[in-house]
């Protein structure tokens, strides 16, 4: 096995493009996503305020909106058409409309008829901006009622302000860096790993060097020697990236680091042997890459990290169960972010073990068959 691993490393040393794809490209992907999510969360999203009331309450609402770091008031206008035009041209993401007479209706305990509209075509931005506009608008109205209207109307009345404590669990800063980056980096790296493994095996058949690679009496060690260098390289880069997020960026690992690293190895190993299974079955790199794009590329969408699987169609739930990314994402969330007990994560860990064993056995069987066809 070690002789095959050294042979593969010597091959990478001689072929600079392959070396770049296996060693440098993962680093570039990590740097790309690290830079993309480094700001943590969306801030200064442009909105429009339609102030038709021109009242003290509307000024309180505008002030509350202006001090919210998520929002940036692009303009204050009295025209709804102007606001809608800015949204249609994506110069603004939403608007708060304060109609004429809103303050008078509010103090009479009537509906102030304040409305909020936002662009939901970008789901995450829509949710962020709608929540920020709603909270700021309510804060502005509460400030007007508590500090201005009631204080002037009944100066000696101590009106208690209703307070509801809201606690955000596991991601209190609402950071996209913690929400998306831990999932997107493995999602892209495992695709690159699949391509590297498929190409490495495919080249053996293309160059007719299978005899140099595979010892017919040591098929298992030959296959391990071929794919393990790539698995170890990708595991090493992912571990470095995790160290960066945990110790430099401050997103500490709440659970077991050992379990995450073990699952990480099984995750990459599973996709490596899946890739080897397909290329050994087809002996056709274009078909293998097409399969990788379909099977591996769908992982983030079908794993439940962006859309819940609770009420998903039967096919979606089925597809989520036949990709190793789903149990890995679940285990990583439990151990990195939530800090679950070890026994909670044993189920996704064991599923990864099954994926690894099943496709490794299939790869061995196919490799033996191919070797026998070369040497009948």
Largest CA distance in the chain: 100
Sequence-separated (6 or more) residues with CB below 8 Å from residue 78: 50, 51, 52
| Residue 346 belongs to some domain of the structure | yes
Same domain for 34 and 49, yes or no, is: no
Pair (145, 29) in one structural domain: no
CATH number of the domain encompassing residue 85: 3.40.1710.10
The lowest-confidence range among 157-166, 249-258, 326-335 is 157-166
pLDDT in tens, 205-253: 888 888 888 877 789 999 999 999 999 999 999 999 999 988 888 888 8
Domain of residue 354 covers 2-38+175-374
- Cα gap 179→245, rounded to integer Å: 12
Task: Give yes or no: residues 217 and 282 share one domain.
Answer: yes
When divided into structural domains, the chain yields a total of 2
Q: Name the domain boundary from 121, 153, 185.
A: 153
Same domain flag for 265 and 219: yes
- Percent of the residues in the chain that have a pLDDT greater than 70, as a whole number: 90
Whether 29 and 71 share a structural domain: no
> How far is residue 226's CA from residue 219's CA, in Å, rounded to a whole number?
11
Same domain membership, residue 350 and residue 253: yes
Residue 162 lies in a domain: no
- Do 321 and 344 reside in the same domain of the chain? yes
Residue 344 to residue 337: CA distance in whole angstroms: 14
Rounded CA gap, 174 and 129, in Å?
A: 13
Record the tokens describing residue 287, joined without a space. Answer: 């078909």
User: Is 188 a domain residue?
Assistant: yes
Q: Do residues 119 and 180 share a domain?
A: no
Question: Cα–Cα distance between 247 and 240 in angstroms, integer?
Answer: 10
pTM of the full predicted structure? 0.80
Residue 160 lies in a domain: no
**Among 110-114, 130-134, 171-175, 247-251, where is mean pLDDT lowest?**
171-175
Mark whether 218 and 355 lie in a shared domain. Answer: yes
Residue predicted with more confidence, 261 or 372:
261
- Both 17 and 145 in one domain: the answer is no
Per the domain annotation, does 254 fall within a domain? yes
CA 15 and chain centroid, separation: 33
Q: Is residue 164 part of a domain?
A: no
Higher pLDDT, 281 or 160: 281
pLDDT on residue 44: 85
Domain check: are 126 and 195 in the same one? no
* Domain identity same for 237 and 307: yes
């Amino acid at each position: 096995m070690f002789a095959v691993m050294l042979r593969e490393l010597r091959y990478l040393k001689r072929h600079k493009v392959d070396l770049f794809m296996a060693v440098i490209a993962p680093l570039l992907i990590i740097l790309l996503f690290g830079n993309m999510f480094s700001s943590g969360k969306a801030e200064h999203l442009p909105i429009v305020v339609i102030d038709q009331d021109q009242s003290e309450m509307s000024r309180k609402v505008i002030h509350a909106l202006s001090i919210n770091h998520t929002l940036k008031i692009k303009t204050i206008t009295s025209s709804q058409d102007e606001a809608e035009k800015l949204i249609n041209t994506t110069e603004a993401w939403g608007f708060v409309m304060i109609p004429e007479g809103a303050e008078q209706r509010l103090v009479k305990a009537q509906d102030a008829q304040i409305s909020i509209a936002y662009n939901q075509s970008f789901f995450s931005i829509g949710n962020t901006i709608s929540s920020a506009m709603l909270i700021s608008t309510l804060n502005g109205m509460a400030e007007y009622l508590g500090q201005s209207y009631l204080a002037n109307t009944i100066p000696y009345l101590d009106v208690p302000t209703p307070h509801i404590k809201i606690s955000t669990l596991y991601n209190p800063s609402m950071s996209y860096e913690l929400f998306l980056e831990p999932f997107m980096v493995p999602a892209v790296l495992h695709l690159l790993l699949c391509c590297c493994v498929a190409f490495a095996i495919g080249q053996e058949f293309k160059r007719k060097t299978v005899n140099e690679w595979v010892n017919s009496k040591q098929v298992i060690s030959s296959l391990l020697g071929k794919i393990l260098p790539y698995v170890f390289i990708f595991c090493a880069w992912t571990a470095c990236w995790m160290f960066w997020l945990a110790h430099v960026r401050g997103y500490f690992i709440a659970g077991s680091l050992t379990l995450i690293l073990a699952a990480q190895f099984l995750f990459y190993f599973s996709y490596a042997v899946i890739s080897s299974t397909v290329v050994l079955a087809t002996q056709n790199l274009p078909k293998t890459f097409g399969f990788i794009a379909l099977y591996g590329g769908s992982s983030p969408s079908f794993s439940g990290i962006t859309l819940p699987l609770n009420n998903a169609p039967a096919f979606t739930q089925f597809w989520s169960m036949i990709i190793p990314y789903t149990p890995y994402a679940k285990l990583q969330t439990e151990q990195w972010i939530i800090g679950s007990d070890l026994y909670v994560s044993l189920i996704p860990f064991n599923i990864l073990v099954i994926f690894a064993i099943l496709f490794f056995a299939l790869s061995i069987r196919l490799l033996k068959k191919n070797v026998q066809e070369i040497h009948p």
